Structure formats: structure tokens, C-alpha cells
Amino acid sequence: MHPIIRTLGRKIPVRLRRRISAPLDAVRFFKTYLGRQTATILPILLATGETHNFTYDLTEKNLRYLAETIAVVTGKAPTDIAGYIDEAIGDSALKRHFETAMRTVGDQPLRNLRSPFGRRLGWYAIVRAIKPKVIVETGVERGHGALLLCAALLRNAAENEPGRYFGTDINPKAGRLLSGEYASAGKILYGDSITSLKALDETIDLFINDSDHSADYEYEEFKVIAPKLSAKAIVLGDNAHVTDKLALFSRESGKRFVFFQEEPKNHWYPGAGIGISFP
């Protein structure tokens, strides 16, 4: 019961106390939880300039859950998956490349971006765990995913397990982060994603949907790539916190499905997630 109502005590009838206390308790909850979240919006906007596709760390607990989730999907030990995640976080060359590219390329004034990958660390760990020969990602935007996926492919290649990345995006300016040595592991196909997928003559080991976030378009992508998937293929959905199309596709394809929910650290955004369809 709200402290004000409790202080007034017996001066207010019990039934009325409860009726008044409920909305006051709701306001108090908003101020302590949602109010704390909204208070960070302006400082983060002023510090980074980001208005979409936000960058942030994950909490320590969330990183642990991510490692456990990817371990289930890949059949690898959780300690191995956690090691891959730590590998990406501690990659100083990858960090320098990201910070330099975001500071010097493009017309959007972004700054102070130190934690670019969030849930995509799970993408990286999957690549390191299953050693895919072909990765396809639809929807590249700045190239956060492309950069991280190609970094994982370069690590795999150094272990004599080479692979190739293909990104698709309708925006001819997409993918500015995929440059330098990382571009040697992949390329971007510009144009409508479904058209590009239909023309792609590759057997896909890892597919990531992150393009047009309408449910129908997402589902159409899954149908187009279905006959191109290898027997061990894993399909990731970056829109699975919004639509259930990957879960539906997974059931229709005889695969299993799990969902990982992000928990951003020190950021107002509630987080997205990873839908994972796997054999």
C-alpha cells in the first residue's frame, strides 16, 4: 500500500484506501522503474547522436544467458561459447576498425560508440562454433553484423576453416563498416533482398534475416532460402521479438526454435533478441 495512504491509516475506510492506493502505487512504480529508463534517453542521445539501431553492452547476466543459449543450439560447451564471446569483446583490432569507420565515414554524426555489437555477439559465437562455409545476412545497414560475422570468418580461416559472407541490402550506401581486411571475407549484394536471394547459387549454413521488418516479407525470405539451406543450417531472426514467422517456419521445416531476449546495460532501449531455428 502506498506510504501516504498507510500514514492516514484508519481515517480512510479500507475499501477506499485500496481504491486510492492502487493508482498511487502504479505511479510510484513508473517513477522508480520506467522513470529511471526514460531519464537516460536524452543523455545517451546527446552523447552518441544515435536515433536508431542503437549500440550498447549487454549485462553480465545476459551474456551468461546468451552463452548458454548458443551452447544448446550448437551442441558446444557453454565455456567454449563464452570464450568466443569474450574473444569478440576483447578483439582490439576489431574495436579500432569499428571506431575509426564510424568516426570518419558517412554523413550521420555518430560519436562515442564503444559497444557496437549487443546480441550480435551471439551471431559471432555461432560462426565460431559451427564453422559455416556460407553465411547470408539480409539487411546490412551500417554493417555491424557484417563486420562481426566477417571477423569470425577470418578467425575460422586462420584455423583452416574458411567461409564466405554475403550481405544483401536495397540501399547502395549500406555496409560502410565492411572494409579493410574484413571485406576480404565477404561482399554485399545490392538490390531487393528476395531478388538477390533467388539469384544466389550457394548452399547456406547460416542465414540471418534483418531486412524489411514486415512479417510477410520476412516469411517470404524464409521460403526462398529453404531449399538452399544445408542439413546443418541455422537460421537467425533479428525480428523475432516482433513477429513469430521464424517460429512458424521452424515448425514447418522440422527444426527446433528458441528465442534469446537482450538486456542492454545502462541504456534506455529495452532490447531486441535473437530468434534461432536449428536442426
Segment 7-58, tens digit of pLDDT: 545 555 555 555 555 565 666 655 665 666 666 666 656 566 666 667 788 9
Residue 96 has pLDDT above 70, yes or no: yes
Summarised one tens digit per residue, pLDDT across range 149-175 is 999 999 999 999 999 999 999 999 999
- Cell 492506493 sits on residue: 21
For 61, the enclosing helix (H) or strand (E) is helix 60-74
* Short-list 232, 243, 233, 237, CA closest to 258: 237
What average pLDDT does the segment 215-242 reach?
A: 96
Look at 22-31, 99-108, 121-130 and tell me which has the smallest mean pLDDT. 22-31
Cβ-contact 262, 119 below 8 angstroms = yes
* pLDDT of the residue at 101: 83
pLDDT at 268: 74
* pLDDT at position 29: 59
Relative to beta strand 204-209, strand 229-237 is parallel
110-124, 169-183, 202-216, 254-268 — which is least confidently predicted? 110-124
Predicted pLDDT at 219: 96
